[in-house]
C-alpha cells in the first residue's frame, strides 16, 4: 500500500510540473500536423521517428469528456509526448522515463488540441499506440490495444493524468453567406476538385487559412477548403495556422493512374533527389464512376517503395503529402468528382537517393 501511494505521489508531482511548465511556454506555437486522430481508432506510431517530432491533432467533443491514451506496444519505449492547446501552450507532458502508459482526460468543448511526440533514443525501434476515445469514465483496455501487435508484451496500466481545460466560448467557425450550399474542395482554389458541400445553415470549425483568402475547415474528421468569398467567418480566429499548401512542380505531367472497371489499377514511377524538382503529381481517375449505375465509390490507395532514401519519401494530397512508403488512404469518387491529384515527393539530399515506387488502387466493398 505504501509503495502504491508513493507511486501516485510521484505521478502527481510529474503531472503538476508539466502543467506548471505550461504557464512558462510562449503561446502561438504552430507546428505542421502529420495526422488528424480519429475518435475510437488507435494510431500506431513507429519508432524511431523520421522527423524531430510527430504532430497529431484532434478536436474535443462538445458533449462528452475525451481520453487520449499513450500506450507503448513495445516495452521500455523511449519517448516524450506533449499535449498542447490551440495556442500552442503545453497542457501536460508525458515522459517514458517516468510514465510508460498514460491517459489524458479532456473536458467537453470544441477546442483543437495537438500531441507532439518525440523519440528520445533514435537507435531503439518500437511502436506507440495513440488513441482518442469519447469517454470520461472507462479507461482504454490496454491489453486489447497491445493485442493488435501479436508479438507485444502486455505491460500493466501504470498511470492516469487529468487535464481540465475550459473550452473557448466562440471558436473560429465558417458558414455559407450566399443563402445556398457552397463547395468544399481539396485545396485553396477553384482549380482543385470538389469533394464535399458546406450545407447552408450549418457551421464548420475552421482549422487554418491560406494566403489567398481560403479557409481550411473540418467536416467528419476530414480537412477541406472553402472560399472566404462565399462564407461568413465568426469567432476567435486569431490563432489560425497558415495552411497554404507548398507549390509542387511536377517532374512528369503525364503520369496517370486509371482505375479499370474491375476496380483495380496501378502505376510504376521513379523519383531521385538530384532531379531539378523531385516531385511527381499523379492524376488518379475512375471513369466507371460516371456511369448511370455507379455514382459513388471509394478506393484504397497504397504506395510501396524500394531504393535508397525511401524512408524520406512522402506522398498524399498535394496540400499535405505526409504519408510514408507502405501507407494507405481512402479516396472517394463521385460522378462530378472522378479525378484527384496525388503528390509524391522526395527531399533534396547531399547524398544521391533514387526511389522506385508503385501506387496501387483497389475498390472498397
**pLDDT tens-digit map of 67-121:** 888 888 777 788 888 989 888 888 888 887 777 778 888 888 888 899 999 888 8
- Phi-psi map region of 161: left, alpha, beta (phi>0 left; psi -120 to 50 alpha): beta
Question: Cα-flanking dihedrals φ and ψ of residue 220, to 5°?
Answer: 55, 40
Question: Which residues are CB-contacts of 16 (< 8 A; sequence separation ≥ 6)?
Answer: none
Q: What is the mean pLDDT of residues 131-137?
A: 67
Q: Are residues 11 and 145 in the same domain?
A: yes
Has residue 306 been placed in a domain? Answer: yes
- Mean pLDDT, range 147-168, rounded to an integer: 45
What total number of domains does the chain contain? Answer: 3
pLDDT given at position 4? 41
- % the chain with pLDDT above 70: 75
Q: Is residue 357 assigned to a domain? A: yes
Looking at residue 282, which CATH number applies to its domain? 2.60.40
Of 208, 242, 276, the residue at which a domain comes to its end is 242
| Domain membership flag for residue 167 | no
116 and 177 in a single domain? The answer is no
Whether residue 84 lies inside any domain: the answer is yes
Q: Which of 168-182, 250-264, 276-290 has the lowest mean pLDDT?
A: 250-264
Residues 180 and 154 in one domain: no
Mean pLDDT for the stretch of residues 199-211:
91
Domain finish residue from 242, 269, 303 = 242
Q: Say how far residue 113 (Cα) sits from the centre of its chain.
A: 12
pLDDT of residue 43 exceeding 90 = no
Give the pLDDT confidence score for residue 228 in this predicted structure.
93
Residue 273 sits in the same domain as residue 357: yes
Query: What mean pLDDT is predicted for residues 49-61?
Result: 83
Residue 241's pLDDT band (cuts 50, 70, 90): confident
Query: Are residue 99 and residue 124 in the same domain, yes or no?
Result: yes
235, 193: one domain:
yes
- Position 5 confidence tier, pLDDT thresholds 50, 70, 90: very low
305-319 residue pLDDT tens = 877 888 888 888 777
Q: Which residue range forms the structural domain that includes residue 271?
A: 256-363
Do 276 and 328 belong together in one domain? yes
Q: Which helix (H) or strand (E) holds 16?
A: helix 2-22
pLDDT score recorded for residue 23: 41
Task: Please check whether residue 43 lies inside any domain of the structure.
Answer: yes
Asked if residue 168 belongs to a domain, the reply is no
- Rounded mean pLDDT of 329-344? 80
The most confident of the ranges 62-76, 102-116, 145-159, 202-216 is 202-216
Give strand pairing partners of 38: none
My answer on whether 14 and 152 are in the same domain is yes
Would you state the pLDDT for residue 345? 87
**Would you list the DSSP string of 256-313?**
EEEPPTTSEEEEEEEEETTSSS-EEEEEEE-GGGGSTT--EEEEEEEEEEEEETGGG-
Higher pLDDT, residue 194 or 172: 172
CA distance 333 to 284: 10
- Give a yes or no: residue 232 inside a domain: yes
Are 151 and 43 within one domain? yes
CATH code, 179: 2.30.30.40
Q: Note the pTM of the prediction, 2 decimals.
A: 0.36
> How much is the pLDDT for 175?
94
The x, y and z cell numbers of residue 91, run together, are 497542457
Both 266 and 154 in a single domain? no
**CATH number of residue 69's parent domain:** 2.60.120.380
**Model pLDDT, residue 334:** 77
What element of type H or E holds 144?
helix 142-146
| Domain end call among 100, 128, 162 | 162
Q: How confident is the model at residue 9 (pLDDT cuts 50, 70, 90)?
A: very low
Residues 229 and 261 occupy one common structural domain: no
More confident residue, 169 or 269: 269
Average pLDDT over residues 275-302: 76
What pLDDT is recorded for position 24?
40
Same domain, 266 and 227: no
Any domain includes 251: no
Question: 253 pLDDT band (50/70/90 cuts)?
Answer: low
Amino acid at each position: 500500500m505504501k509503495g502504491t501511494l508513493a507511486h501516485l505521489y510521484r505521478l502527481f508531482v510529474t503531472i503538476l510540473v508539466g502543467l506548471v511548465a505550461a504557464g512558462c511556454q510562449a503561446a502561438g506555437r504552430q507546428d505542421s500536423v502529420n495526422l488528424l486522430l480519429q475518435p475510437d481508432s488507435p494510431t500506431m506510431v513507429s519508432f524511431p521517428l523520421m522527423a524531430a517530432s510527430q504532430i497529431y491533432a484532434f478536436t474535443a467533443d462538445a458533449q462528452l469528456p475525451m481520453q487520449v491514451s499513450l500506450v507503448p506496444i513495445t516495452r521500455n519505449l523511449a519517448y516524450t509526448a506533449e499535449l498542447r492547446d490551440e495556442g500552442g501552450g503545453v497542457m501536460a507532458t508525458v515522459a517514458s522515463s517516468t510514465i510508460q502508459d498514460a491517459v489524458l482526460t479532456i473536458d467537453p468543448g470544441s477546442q483543437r488540441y495537438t500531441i507532439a511526440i518525440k523519440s528520445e533514443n533514435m537507435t531503439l525501434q518500437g511502436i506507440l499506440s495513440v488513441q482518442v476515445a469519447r469517454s470520461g469514465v472507462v479507461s482504454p483496455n490496454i491489453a486489447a490495444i497491445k493485442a493488435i501487435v501479436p508479438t507485444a508484451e502486455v505491460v500493466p496500466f501504470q498511470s492516469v493524468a487529468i487535464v481540465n481545460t475550459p473550452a473557448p466560448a466562440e471558436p473560429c467557425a465558417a458558414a455559407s453567406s450566399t443563402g445556398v450550399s457552397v463547395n468544399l474542395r481539396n485545396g485553396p482554389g477553384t482549380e482543385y476538385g470538389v469533394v464535399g458541400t458546406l450545407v447552408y445553415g450549418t457551421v464548420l470549425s475552421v482549422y487554418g487559412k491560406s494566403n489567398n483568402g481560403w479557409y481550411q475547415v473540418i467536416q467528419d474528421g476530414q480537412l477541406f477548403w472553402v472560399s472566404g468569398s462565399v462564407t461568413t467567418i465568426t469567432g476567435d480566429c486569431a490563432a489560425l495556422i497558415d495552411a497554404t499548401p507548398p507549390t509542387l512542380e511536377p517532374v512528369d505531367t503525364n503520369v496517370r493512374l486509371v482505375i479499370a472497371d474491375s476496380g483495380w489499377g496501378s502505376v510504376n514511377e521513379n523519383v531521385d533527389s538530384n532531379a531539378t524538382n523531385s516531385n511527381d503529381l499523379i492524376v488518379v481517375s475512375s471513369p466507371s464512376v460516371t456511369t448511370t449505375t455507379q455514382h459513388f465509390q471509394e478506393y484504397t490507395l497504397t504506395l510501396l517503395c524500394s531504393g535508397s532514401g525511401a524512408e524520406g519519401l512522402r506522398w498524399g494530397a498535394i496540400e499535405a503529402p505526409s504519408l510514408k512508403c507502405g501507407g494507405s488512404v481512402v479516396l472517394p469518387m463521385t460522378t462530378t468528382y472522378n479525378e484527384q491529384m496525388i503528390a509524391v515527393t522526395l527531399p533534396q539530399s547531399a547524398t544521391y537517393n533514387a526511389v522506385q515506387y508503385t501506387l496501387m488502387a483497389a475498390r472498397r466493398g
